Structure 1
Amino acid sequence: MTQHSPKSPQFFLTSPSPCPYLDGQFERKVFTHLVGDKAPQMNDLLTQGGFRRSQNIAYRPACEACRACVSVRIVADRFTPSKNLKRISKVNRDLIGVEHAAEPTSEQYSLFRRYLDARHRKGGMSEMTVLDYAMMVEDTHVQTKIIEYRQRDADSFVTGSSNGPLLGVALSDRMSDGYSMVYSFFDPDQQHRSLGTWMILDHIARAQSDGLPHVYLGYWVDGSAKMEYKTRFRPQEHLTATGWEVFGD
């Protein structure tokens, strides 16, 4: 097995491949391995520097002719929801989110498959098996949690949990300065709930409750319609050549 030193990480560059967000563009990524006892600290530093985590890999775009991908984080401690976001919170007031260890279940995978088949049938993850899903959840050396979102049952306000239907799942890293949303999916038949938006709102509330300033959303791609939702959460900061700067306000 190849050994990687967490004290002096090695970085690698991928070959060019078609960009999944912008037609006619090609993407390259620089990446390193997140392993060992120092992986949580390294994940913090790299995420704050614009990297994302996938399993035990931290990566960021390194495209030769494009800089459209921009790292985004919500300023949770100053967040104020718009009227529309308040409406989404009200619609989902019957849901409860409960944190679990990063362990996959067959119930999660069933929902994951329904989500992919309905929303991302032609995407890069469309062929993921149950073993692939298990690796996505379990292959982590940082502080990762699965948050399950279910409809409340009669005992929820006493127990803080629920045996109700599973409607959404978020795989999230708890960092020193906030939460990083690694991946989330939800019941595609519950469109009226805007569950993707609701899970972001729940992460903002969790960060506020824990006294953490940020929620990291990954990359916003200017010109990609499917990324536009990320700009709804204000105030937010974008990572520029001179550091994190407030966007839009």
Structure 2
Amino acid sequence: MTKYSQLDAVRLLATVPHPCGYLPEREATTVFVDPQTPIDQRLYSRLSELGFRRSGEYLYRPQCARCQACVPARIPVALFVPDRKQRRCWRRNRDLDIFHVDCVDTDEHYELYARYIERRHRDGEMYPPSREQYRSFLGGAWGTTRYVEVRARGRLVAVAVTDLLSAGLSAIYTFFDPDEERRSLGSYCILYQIEWARRLGLSSLYLGYWIEECQKMAYKTQYHPTELLRENRWALKKP
């Protein structure tokens, strides 16, 4: 089956309009791939190129009637050049150890996640955290998911959940020790995933949706250059 016939077979479902989680006083509509659709890495990768994103076992894309604020973003890793702040972040964390693991369904991992949500995202949809929500949100999907542990002298300080696509990596979610603010662990994990993609010979690191009016999303265009998907075409963001 070609990638085009695969896409022809994909059935999309849509939510009813609901309050936007990012921009106040706006309504959002989300389309998502029918959960009965067989997904493999090739189809998942193709849908990512078209602006879809994974949450748990769902592939979705915003499709709002009166708003196009959610713009898919990715980093072309071969072109990426870290700025001074990012170079300092990388040097500051040279003492950290990185491990790739198959599972993060342990008390150690969940406790770090719960502390992160409770301290950093009390106003978000994932608060309050629960073990069931943790498993459904960050569990592996279609054999593509990899987990990156970041440890300081053996102590777990961050986890990056990453999906391996045909031509890139997709940064699904990162959580970290909220007491380690000086390390800028969120930035460090993105920098690590950029280098990881380079080592694998992949072209891009997908970062999900960027919203210009949402301050929480500003970090996604701080890695230069950034590509944005507009009108079904990826193009470098203008300075």
TM-score bracket for this pair, using the shorter chain length:
over 0.9
* Aligned twin of 1:53: 54
* Aligned twin of 2:107: 106
Q: Per-residue displacement from partner, 1:16-42 (whole Å, max 9, x unpaired)?
A: 111111111111100014667642111
SS at match of 2:78: helix
Q: Per-residue displacement from partner, 1:177-230 (whole Å, max 9, x unpaired)?
A: 111011111100011111101100000000111111100000000110111011
Q: How does 1:10-29 map to 2 (within 5 A)?
A: 10-29=11-30
Answer yes or no: is the 8 Å Cα contact 2:41–2:166 preserved in 1: no
Change beyond 3 A, Cα 1:201–1:135 = same
Change beyond 3 A, Cα 1:142–1:9 = farther
Tell me by how many angstroms 1:236 deviates: 1.3
Report the RMSD for the aligned CA atoms in angstroms.
Answer: 1.7
* Aligned twin of 2:173: 183
SS at match of 1:77: coil
Q: Does residue 81 in structure 1 map to residue 85 in structure 2?
A: no
Answer yes or no: is the 8 Å Cα contact 1:30–1:60 preserved in 2: yes
- Tell me how far apart the structure 2 counterparts of residues 142 and 16 of structure 1 sit (CA, whole Å): 32
- Tell me how far apart the structure 1 counterparts of residues 119 and 135 of structure 2 sit (CA, whole Å): 20
Tell me by how many angstroms 1:234 deviates: 0.7
Answer yes or no: is the 8 Å Cα contact 1:36–1:141 preserved in 2: no
User: Gaps spanning 5+ residues in structure 2: where?
Assistant: 1-5
Q: Which amino acid aligns with 1:186?
A: F
Change beyond 3 A, Cα 1:142–1:58 = farther
- Tell me how far apart the structure 1 counterparts of residues 34 and 57 of structure 2 sit (CA, whole Å): 6
* Aligned twin of 1:211: 201
Q: Per-residue displacement from partner, 1:65-96 (whole Å, max 9, x unpaired)?
A: 10000000001011110011000001111112
Change beyond 3 A, Cα 1:47–1:102 = farther
Identity of aligned residues (%): 36
SS at match of 1:208: helix
Aligned length: 233
Answer yes or no: is the 8 Å Cα contact 1:34–1:43 preserved in 2: no
User: Gaps spanning 5+ residues in structure 1: where?
Assistant: 1-5, 154-163
Q: Per-residue displacement from partner, 1:82-127 (whole Å, max 9, x unpaired)?
A: 0110000011111122111144211110000000010101210012
TM-score by length of 2: 0.92
SS at match of 1:114: helix
- Tell me how far apart the structure 1 counterparts of residues 175 and 56 of structure 2 sit (CA, whole Å): 17
- Tell me how far apart the structure 2 counterparts of residues 245 and 127 of structure 1 sit (CA, whole Å): 38
Misfit runs of 4+, over 3 Å:
33-38
Q: Does residue 222 in structure 1 map to residue 223 in structure 2?
A: no
